[in-house]
Amino acid sequence: REAMTTVLLVLGLLLGLYALLYYNCIRGAKCRAQSSLRGKTVVITGGNTGIGKMTALDLARRKARVILACRSRARGEAAVYDIRRESGNNEVLFMSLDLASLDSVRAFAETFLRSEPRLDILINNAGGNLITESDGFNLVFQVNHLGHFLLTHLLLERLKLSAPSRVVIVASSAHRSGKIDFENLHKPVEGILQNFQAYCNSKLANILYARELANKLEGTDVTCYAVHPGECGSSLSLGMHLPNPAQVPRGKRSEHRYSRREVQSSPV
Residues noted as catalytic: 199
Choose one: 36-44, 108-116, 120-128, 211-219; the region binding ligand NAP (CB under 6 A). Answer: 120-128
CB 217 to ligand NAP: min, Å? 21
Site for ligand NAP in 40-69 (CB under 6 A): 45-46, 48-52
CB 74 to ligand NAP: min, Å? 9
CA–CA distance, 136 with 239 (Å, rounded to integer) = 20
How many residues touch ligand NAP (CB under 6 A)?
32
Task: Choose among 97, 130, 125: nearest CA to 241.
Answer: 130
232 scored as a contact of ligand NAP (CB under 6 A): yes
Identity of the residue, 40 or 71, whose beta carbon is nearer to ligand NAP in the bound complex: 71
127 scored as a contact of ligand NAP (CB under 6 A): yes
Degrees (nearest 5) of the Cα angle 219, 65, 69?
Answer: 85
Length in residues, the chain: 268
229 scored as a contact of ligand NAP (CB under 6 A): yes
Identity of the residue, 49 or 89, whose beta carbon is nearer to ligand NAP in the bound complex: 49
Residue nearest to ligand NAP (CB): 50
Task: Choose among 114, 108, 136: nearest CA to 43.
Answer: 108
Report CA dihedral (168, 169, 173, 178) to the nearest 10 degrees.
-150
256 scored as a contact of ligand NAP (CB under 6 A): no
Report CA dihedral (241, 242, 244, 245) to the nearest 10 degrees.
-170
Cβ–Cβ contacts within 10 Å for residue 24, how many?
Answer: 8
Collapsing DSSP to helix, strand or coil, 30 comes out as coil
204 scored as a contact of ligand NAP (CB under 6 A): no
Q: Which of 208, 231, 258, 262 binds ligand NAP (CB under 6 A)?
A: 231
71 scored as a contact of ligand NAP (CB under 6 A): yes
CB 1 to ligand NAP: min, Å? 42
The CA–CA distances, whole Å, from 179 to 86, 145, 206 equal 41, 14, 12
For the residues of 153-190, what is the DSSP string, one character each?
A: HHHHHHHHHT-SEEEEEE--GGGGG----TTTTTS---
Binding stretches for ligand NAP (CB under 6 A): 45-46, 48-52, 70-72, 75, 97-100, 125-128, 143, 170, 172, 228-229, 231-232, 234-236, 240-241, 243
